[in-house]
Amino acid sequence: MPLRPIEIYLTQLNWHPRHFKNIEDDIGPGPEMKIAYHNGQKTAKAQNGSNTETPGDETLFLSLQFQCKRHRFTFTPKISNSTQHKMFKKFSSEEVSAQNQVKASVQRKIRQSIADEYPGLEPVLDDILPKKSPLIVAKCQNHLNLVVVNNVPLFFSVRDGPYMPTLRLLHQYPEIMKKLQVDRGAIRFVLAGANIMCPGLTSPGGVLDEEVGAECPVAIMAEGKQHALAIGFTKMSAKDIKAINKGIGVDNLHYLNDGLWKMERFD
């Protein structure tokens, strides 16, 4: 069954079909690319084919939309010097520039901020962040902070944003975060660090909680899976994701098997 049209949106004006290779797949020859403009962006439309690759040294912004049977998914890898959604991809202790035991007043402020963001944690907050245990804030590259207790990273924040639990902590307390769900076809892309596009949440198998607002930490669930596979930060509200249904809906910040997941303890 041939795939429906793939649309590749590019913001780089000097786009050329030579930037893509390996278009052919097992259902037939590669597509014939046709350049057009879509909302001010260059667009290449393919009538057949399923996969494209770009050289690693190119700076391109792509969005692939494809549909086969009941699955519809959009994938936007970002090949550039920006590392926000890849900040934990190869994270290690070498990324930590400083570790500071915070004063009691700062510790109370952090605890209160976490309690306000995640009310469901309040009954167990003393177990997670014991008042008598030193609370360490580890400062890392890319304006990243980690909250560490007894050598275990528990929360992270980016710049002055809200504290977000690590996936290991979220799996212990799975009901503390608001949830969005992607369909089954999106799983491998999310686990590769791709941001979550709106159609990946609105397609069959995706689930939106319309109470989720913009700039909100969320657990990324997946069709048919019990546990969260990523933690994200919404770029628009769930209602806008449903209405607009294009572009990035959620930034993928931390996902299964990334560097933070592998770092169970600080040595």
CA dist., res. 19 & res. 39, Å (int)? 22
Query: In this structure, are residues 229 and 177 in contact, taking their beta carbons and an 8 Å threshold?
Result: no
Tell me, yes or no, whether 177 lies in a domain.
yes
pLDDT of residue 92: 74
Tell me, yes or no, whether 74 lies in a domain.
no
Distances (CA, A) of 111 to 148, 236, 253: 12, 27, 22
Q: Model confidence at 67, in pLDDT bands (50, 70, 90)?
A: very low
- This prediction's pTM: 0.68
Torsion, Cα of 234, 235, 240, 244 (10° steps): -130
**Domain co-membership, 14 together with 119:** no
Tell me, yes or no, whether 161 lies in a domain.
yes
pLDDT of residue 86: 62
For 97-137, the pLDDT digits (tens) are 899 999 999 999 999 999 999 999 999 999 999 988 999 99
Distance of CA 120 to the CA centre of its chain: 23
CA dist., res. 25 & res. 253, Å (int)? 31
**Domain co-membership, 196 together with 246:** yes
Tell me, yes or no, whether 134 lies in a domain.
yes
**How many domains does one find in the chain?**
2
**Domain co-membership, 120 together with 215:** yes
For 176-200, the pLDDT digits (tens) are 999 999 999 999 999 999 999 999 9
**Domain co-membership, 140 together with 245:** yes
Tell me, yes or no, whether 75 lies in a domain.
no
**Domain co-membership, 30 together with 157:** no
- Measure CA of the first residue to CA of the last residue in the chain; give whole Å: 52
Residue bearing tokens 């809200």: 162
**Domain co-membership, 63 together with 99:** no
**Domain co-membership, 229 together with 179:** yes
Which residues are paired to 182 by β-bridges?
222
Residue that finishes a domain, picked among 69, 101, 120: 69
**Domain co-membership, 141 together with 60:** no
Tell me, yes or no, whether 79 lies in a domain.
no
- Maximum Cα–Cα distance for the chain, whole Å? 65
**Domain co-membership, 187 together with 124:** yes
Residue that finishes a domain, picked among 69, 102, 121: 69
Closest CA to 259 of 94, 80, 145: 94
Query: In this structure, are residues 98 and 141 in contact, taking their beta carbons and an 8 Å threshold?
Result: no
Tell me, yes or no, whether 77 lies in a domain.
no
**Domain co-membership, 189 together with 234:** yes
| Residue of 44 and 242 predicted with greater confidence | 242
pLDDT exceeds 80 at position 250: yes
For 13-43, the pLDDT digits (tens) are 333 333 333 323 322 333 333 333 333 333 4
pLDDT of residue 68: 41
Query: In this structure, are residues 259 and 141 in contact, taking their beta carbons and an 8 Å threshold?
Result: no
**Domain co-membership, 126 together with 189:** yes
**Domain co-membership, 252 together with 201:** yes
Residue that finishes a domain, picked among 11, 40, 69: 69
Sign of CA dihedral 205, 213, 157, 87: positive
Q: In which domain, by residue range, is 174 found?
A: 84-267
Tell me, yes or no, whether 76 lies in a domain.
no
- Domain with residue 230: its CATH number is 3.10.400.20
